[in-house]
Amino acid sequence: LLRSSQPLPGPNRRRCREDEQLLGTILDEGDRGFIIDTRSAQAAKQARMSGGGTETKSSYPQWRRLHRALERGRPLQESFIRLVEACSDPSLSMDRWLSRLESSRWLSHVKAALSTACLAAQCLDREDSNVLVHGAEGTDTTLLVTALAHLILDPSCRTLSGFQGLLQREWIEAGHPFHLRCARSASSHGRGKQEAPLFLLFLDCVWQLSRQFPFSLEFGEQLLLTLFDNAYASAYGTFLCNNERERSLCKVKESTHSLWAWLNQPEEKQKYLNPLYSHNPLVIWPSVEPQSIQLWQGLFLRWIRPSQHLDEAWVEIQRLVEGK
Amino acid sequence: VENVRLLDRFSSRRAVLGTLYLTATHVIFVENGSETRKETWVLHSQISSVEKQATTATGCPLLIRCKNFQVIQLVIPQERDCHDIYISLIRLARPVKYEELYCFSFNPKLDKEEREQGWRLVDLSEEYNRMGVPNNYWQISDVNRDYGVCDSYPTEVYVPKSATAHIIVGSSKFRSRRRFPALSYYCKGNNASICRSSQPLSGFSARCLEDEQMLQAIRKANAGSDFIYVVDTRPKLNAMANRAAGKGYENEDNYSNIKFQFIGIENIHVMRNSLQKMLEVCELKSPSMSDFLWGLENSGWLKHIKAIMDAGIFIAKAVAEEGVSVLVHCSDGWDRTAQVCSVASLLLDPYYRTMKGFMVLIEKDWVSFGHKFNHRYGNLDGDPKEISPVIDQFIECVWQLMEQFPCAFEFNERFLIHIQHHIYSCQFGNFLCNSQKERRELKIQERTYSLWAHLWKNRADYLNPLYRSDHSQTQGTLHPQIASCNFLYKFWSGMYNRFEKGLHPRQSVTDYLMAVKEETQQLEEELEVLQERLANLQKSQSGDNKVKTKQQERSKHCGLYTSNNSLANTPQEYSNDLKSFPSRSPSQGDEEDSALILTQDNLKSSDPDLSANSDQESGVEDLSCRSPSGGGCLPSEDSGKDSDEAVFLAG
């Protein structure tokens, strides 16, 4: 599984021998690879006008391009805002709740993200093919897809430490611009063009996986909520800045503490473990039917509905499993 | 009929070839595979509709839709066979006599004593005693002992002490279908009660002294309050329209000390249509999130569920928090009234959240009070306009509550699903006919078996591992104040997509936790035994250290249930425009390729045949009376190994 940003043929359809060679070396003679472009074919074409573009068949003959348009940027932020507003609207009657939910399109984005990640996983696992994922910048939807694909395919990413490692590699070091993306969240109507909840979308997808495979993730919802919180505001330096270069310039490692170090302390760790976890060596294929994708109540209704009864249920589950 | 194909709804690739059999009670599809020979059984009673679709090159498609939401798609090779099957199924699914129903031939091989014991498992007079009646305020009335006053009521009803026979009879004449106000639930703690009836025949201005006295009697039976609520569960408009037909609702001016309230639950026709629309959404092939949510909202289903729940909450609050008695009615007092009274009781009294208590609740508010099971669920062929998912909605309300309060119910989701299944299956006699009177005339208890006994025997399957009778959630009243929040109502895919394996989590948390709980219990018991032994040994052998070896004995592990991770699952079709074969033209050009490359060959993967592995979720539900929890019970037509298995299971 590879990731990158978009190639830059531009309006003059430039070619780049080195880039073609690089992609060429990955495939054996006669092999086929897939490129999953997270923009629509149209958007990808239009990108050429501003210097970007796609990998053409003629330049990259062994690679088959698939387009899966995933929402990002301002529209995704709008979607998030609309959902949060719908959840906190006390006047909303039952006969309009679902259409409000639908018009936020958030769940559609969850479905699309999971489907695309599954597609990538399928190409790897079922087709035995190499896959290259990219969008435009390679820092948003690209990472969403590759990180999810890891979880689907690789059981070691589903352990608590494996998941932290995944986040560190596929989100933080891969250069997702946390500082720009996770600035003000849903309540602010600031016009920050760079704000977008990709990381939350990722966490939501992970939550969907945990619901569909309750035994297969070593961590629980509490971890996901904690990560969400820390991406926006944190006592730790882990999610600071936009990329490794900035972190180095700001001397983040020297002047802050790591979130992972704190989470992994024995007393803390306990809170984040899933009592039902049991190592599942297989690939987990989620269902992306609408019935299978649910609103993440634990996050979106966190302050709206009391979670007491559900928390008690988890305490009970813990008690039962530990009693064993 | 041979060479019939059974299609999988979600992926047309997964069609299975087999033979279709029709018996007097079931439709059976047997797969051709050499080892598995998986069977799919469907009771005729479960068939809701049969649809013949346009013949294609591959054969004649036949779609069977069941009342338990199973949808079976068959392809019959010959058109004539298809037509014959179609005609037969139509007839078989619409019995005209009760004797045609499965419960009269079902034989679980129990003796007469066991059968009678099964019927005695739920005893309503015990239940009323448990509630605390009869007492100083409430008495049994036998005024209806021969069903002379109201033929849809039971012979024994509880009424306020000050309601004489004269008052009862007078009131019954002023109520639709003669369903006079009677006790549904009595709250020992504060003397408040829930009573139920049908609408008064008040028209625009009619009055009835006895009916007014009846309501007064209910009020007087509760010294703690100087008024009662009268809750009309209909929308105001409907109730007002009824006045033109000489019926209507209670006028606060005429009835002293009542506070009148409309709740606004729609009628059976609206509900029937609502379910229909929701099922259409479920049948969409690869719907988008949009299609699904719009479709679901358009059906209005969750809105109706919430309306029923809100009504129950209102009544429970009135009783528990205000200490005020409530009289509930709708039009005839056997649909919405039953729903709302049972939801309220469930919220108020933790007993009804136990397995036994729940059976008692259904027996009380649905069976004994004359809910028209036959008409509503089509035991016999009847007026399609009478069909409506009334009890289904109540059962869903219970599920919604279970989702909000995971520790509060002794039983689990499977219990609810199986009850719903059997309401339609007519395998047991509990839900036949329209009233207690009809059931006694047909001698149901002498000729059929009770579902409650069957469920009770298998109660281990129905337990909720998170339930503890000493847990805070199980004490006292449930307070879903937050149930007024819309987003808490979820789509119940466990019920409406029950047979679609791919949709549900492959591993059941409930089953795992039950197994863990059982094993822990066993280990604890073993530990006790060993500790006793140790203590005895220490007494007899003063200070001899050899006892250590005894301690090291490991109790035998009764099969540790590991979550069955070896159940591989396969990917569904993740692309909307799936083509079986990708276009491999080399001159593809720059065009986008949205077809997912997933060929037939790739799917002949090393995955095991999931239908053989997935036990719980397969279409061969353990209710077609062949599985362990179903308790073997094959009709006599069956032959071969199945009968043996059935005998084994029944034994």
Check if B269 contacts A (Cβ < 8 Å): no
Name the minimum distance, in Å, from the CA of A323 to any CA of chain B: 6
Check if B517 contacts A (Cβ < 8 Å): yes
In a domain, B335, yes or no: yes
Check if B113 contacts A (Cβ < 8 Å): no
Domain containing A70 equals 2-14+21-317
Check if B289 contacts A (Cβ < 8 Å): yes
Interhelix angle A141-153/A198-212, nearest 10 degrees: 20
Max Cα–Cα distance, chain B, nearest Å:
94
For chains A and B, what is the number of CB pairs under 8 angstroms? 190
pLDDT at B573: 67
Cα separation, B519 vs A324, whole angstroms: 7
Q: Do B189 and B76 share a domain, yes or no?
A: no
Q: Do B308 and B432 share a domain, yes or no?
A: yes
CB contact under 8 A, B516 and A321: yes
Where does the pLDDT of residue B592 fall: very low under 50, low under 70, confident under 90, or very high at 90 and above? Answer: very low
CB contact under 8 A, A216 and B565: yes
Where does the pLDDT of residue B571 fall: very low under 50, low under 70, confident under 90, or very high at 90 and above? Answer: confident
Apex B169 CA angle, B165 and B171, nearest 5: 115
CATH of the domain at B48: 2.30.29.30
Instruction: Give the Cβ contact number of residue B446 at 10 Å.
Output: 12
pLDDT at B47: 94
pLDDT at B36: 74
CB contact under 8 A, B471 and A316: yes
Residues that constitute the known binding site of B: 267-268, 330-336
Q: Which of A131-135, B106-110, B543-547 has the lowest mean pLDDT?
A: B543-547
Which structure tokens are listed for A96? 């309009």
Q: Do B66 and B168 share a domain, yes or no?
A: no
Cα separation, B236 vs B361, whole angstroms: 28
In a domain, A322, yes or no: no
pLDDT at B577: 32
User: 3-state DSSP call for residue B281?
Assistant: helix
Check if B469 contacts A (Cβ < 8 Å): no
CB contact under 8 A, A119 and B575: yes
In a domain, B125, yes or no: no
Domain count for chain B, please give it: 2
pLDDT of B229 higher than 60: yes
CB contact under 8 A, B605 and A126: yes
Where in the sequence numbering do the catalytic residues of B fall?
Answer: 330
Of B501, B535, B553, the residue at which a domain comes to its end is B501
List Cβ neighbours of B208 (8 Å cut-off, separation of 6 or more): B170, B171, B173, B174, B200, B201
CB contact under 8 A, B505 and A278: no
Cα separation, B324 vs B227, whole angstroms: 7
Nearest CA in chain A to B297: A98
Name the minimum distance, in Å, from the CA of A255 to any CA of chain B: 43
Residues of chain A neighbouring B466 (CB-CB closer than 8 A): 313, 316-317, 320
Query: Could you give phi then psi for residue B262, rounded to 5 degrees?
Result: -95, 145
The amino acid occupying position B431 is F
CATH of the domain at B275: 3.90.190.10
Where does the pLDDT of residue B612 fall: very low under 50, low under 70, confident under 90, or very high at 90 and above? Answer: very low
Rg (CA), chain B: 28
Nearest CA in chain A to B290: A102
Q: Which of A202, A210, A222, A227 is nearest to A277 (CA)?
A: A210
Where does the pLDDT of residue B468 fall: very low under 50, low under 70, confident under 90, or very high at 90 and above? Answer: confident
Nearest CA in chain B to A96: B297
Domain containing B482 equals 133-501
pLDDT at B306: 93
Q: Which of B10, B302, B497 sits opposite A94 (nearest CB)?
A: B302
Q: Which B positions 2-41 lie with beta carbon below 8 A of chain A? A: 10
In a domain, B534, yes or no: no
pLDDT at B484: 58
Nearest CA in chain A to B468: A316
Interhelix angle B390-404/B301-317, nearest 10 degrees: 70
Apex B592 CA angle, B591 and B597, nearest 5: 120
In a domain, A295, yes or no: yes
Where does the pLDDT of residue A116 fall: very low under 50, low under 70, confident under 90, or very high at 90 and above? Answer: very high
Q: Which of B466, B519, B589 sits opposite A324 (nearest CB)?
A: B519
In the predicted model, what is the mean pLDDT of chain B? 83
Interface test with B, best of A37, A215, A295, A308 (most B CBs within 10 A): A215
User: 3-state DSSP call for residue A235?
Assistant: coil
CB contact under 8 A, A95 and B571: no
Of B467, B484, B501, the residue at which a domain comes to its end is B501
pLDDT at A188: 67
Q: Which of A187-196, A301-310, B274-283, B285-294 has the lowest mean pLDDT?
A: A187-196
Domain count for chain A, please give it: 1
Nearest CA in chain B to A104: B290
Name the minimum distance, in Å, from the CA of B84 to any CA of chain A: 36
More confident position, B614 or B292 = B292
pLDDT of A176 higher than 80: yes
Q: DSSP string covering B509-542, please?
A: HHHHHHHHHHHHHHHHHHHHHHHHHHHHHHHHST
The separation between CA A162 and the C-alpha centre of its own chain, rounded to angstroms, equals 15
Is A52 in contact with A78 (CB distance < 8 Å)? no
Q: Do B83 and B196 share a domain, yes or no?
A: no
pLDDT at B418: 97
Q: Do B34 and B148 share a domain, yes or no?
A: no
Query: Could you give phi then psi for residue A148, rounded to 5 degrees?
Result: -65, -40
pLDDT at B501: 76
pLDDT of A4 higher than 50: yes
Residues of chain A neighbouring B517 (CB-CB closer than 8 A): 320, 323
Cα separation, B430 vs B442, whole angstroms: 12
CB contact under 8 A, A101 and B293: yes
Q: Do B492 and B390 share a domain, yes or no?
A: yes
Interface test with A, best of B590, B599, B603, B610 (most A CBs within 10 A): B590
Instruction: Give the Cβ contact number of residue B188 at 10 Å.
Output: 12
Q: Which B positions 181-210 lie with beta carbon below 8 A of chain A? A: none
Instruction: Give the Cβ contact number of residue B366 at 10 Å.
Output: 23
Name the minimum distance, in Å, from the CA of B398 to any CA of chain A: 16
Check if B111 contacts A (Cβ < 8 Å): no
Nearest CA in chain B to A33: B597
Name the minimum distance, in Å, from the CA of B625 to any CA of chain A: 28
**CA distance readout (Å), B581 to A31, A120, B472, B577:** 18, 18, 58, 11
Residues that constitute the known binding site of B for substrate: 267-268, 330-336
Q: Do B78 and B210 share a domain, yes or no?
A: no
Interface test with A, best of B563, B579, B585, B601 (most A CBs within 10 A): B563
Q: Do B146 and B87 share a domain, yes or no?
A: no
Q: Which of A41-50, B296-305, B521-530, B542-551 has the lowest mean pLDDT?
A: B542-551
The separation between CA A78 and the C-alpha centre of its own chain, rounded to angstroms, equals 18
Residues of chain A neighbouring B594 (CB-CB closer than 8 A): 41, 66-67
pLDDT at A5: 97
User: 3-state DSSP call for residue B476?
Assistant: coil
Q: Which of A288, A287, A292 is nearest to A111 (CA)?
A: A288
The pLDDT tens digits for B152-192 are 999 999 999 999 999 999 999 999 999 999 999 999 999 99
In a domain, A324, yes or no: no
**CA distance readout (Å), B1 to A23, B80, B454:** 56, 11, 33
Of B44, B76, B94, the residue at which a domain comes to its end is B94
Q: Which of A34-43, B230-239, B529-538 has the lowest mean pLDDT?
A: B529-538
CB contact under 8 A, A215 and B512: yes
Mean pLDDT of A238-267: 95
Interface test with B, best of A31, A111, A289 (most B CBs within 10 A): A289
pTM for the full predicted model = 0.87
More confident position, B611 or A79 = A79
In a domain, A43, yes or no: yes
pLDDT at A189: 66
pLDDT at B423: 96
pLDDT at B436: 96
Q: Do B9 and B138 share a domain, yes or no?
A: no
In a domain, A323, yes or no: no
- What b/e string do you get for A135-157 counting C-beta neighbours within 10 Å, with b at 16 or more? bbebbbbbbbbbbbbbbbbbbeb
Q: Which of A118, A282, A316 sits opposite B574 (nearest CB)?
A: A118
Cα separation, B388 vs A311, whole angstroms: 37
CB contact under 8 A, B597 and A127: yes
Check if B306 contacts A (Cβ < 8 Å): yes
The pLDDT tens digits for B362-412 are 999 999 999 999 999 999 999 999 999 999 999 999 999 999 899 999 999
Interface test with A, best of B69, B289, B473, B588 (most A CBs within 10 A): B289
CB contact under 8 A, A126 and B297: no
In a domain, A236, yes or no: yes
CB contact under 8 A, B466 and A320: yes
Cα separation, B635 vs B28, whole angstroms: 12
Q: Do B43 and B161 share a domain, yes or no?
A: no
CB contact under 8 A, A65 and B605: no
Q: Do B72 and B162 share a domain, yes or no?
A: no
Mean pLDDT of B591-599: 28
pLDDT at B33: 78
pLDDT of B593 higher than 60: no
Where does the pLDDT of residue B631 fall: very low under 50, low under 70, confident under 90, or very high at 90 and above? Answer: very low
The pLDDT tens digits for A285-317 are 999 999 999 999 999 999 888 788 888 899 999
Check if B267 contacts A (Cβ < 8 Å): no
Residues of chain A neighbouring B486 (CB-CB closer than 8 A): 92-94, 97
The pLDDT tens digits for B476-520 are 788 765 545 767 899 999 999 998 877 887 778 999 999 999 899
Q: Do B376 and B236 share a domain, yes or no?
A: yes
CB contact under 8 A, B471 and A310: no
pLDDT of A191 higher than 80: no
CB contact under 8 A, B592 and A65: yes
More confident position, B577 or B66 = B66
Where does the pLDDT of residue B11 fall: very low under 50, low under 70, confident under 90, or very high at 90 and above? Answer: low
pLDDT at B508: 87
The pLDDT tens digits for B36-85 are 788 999 999 999 999 999 998 889 999 999 999 999 999 999 999 999 99
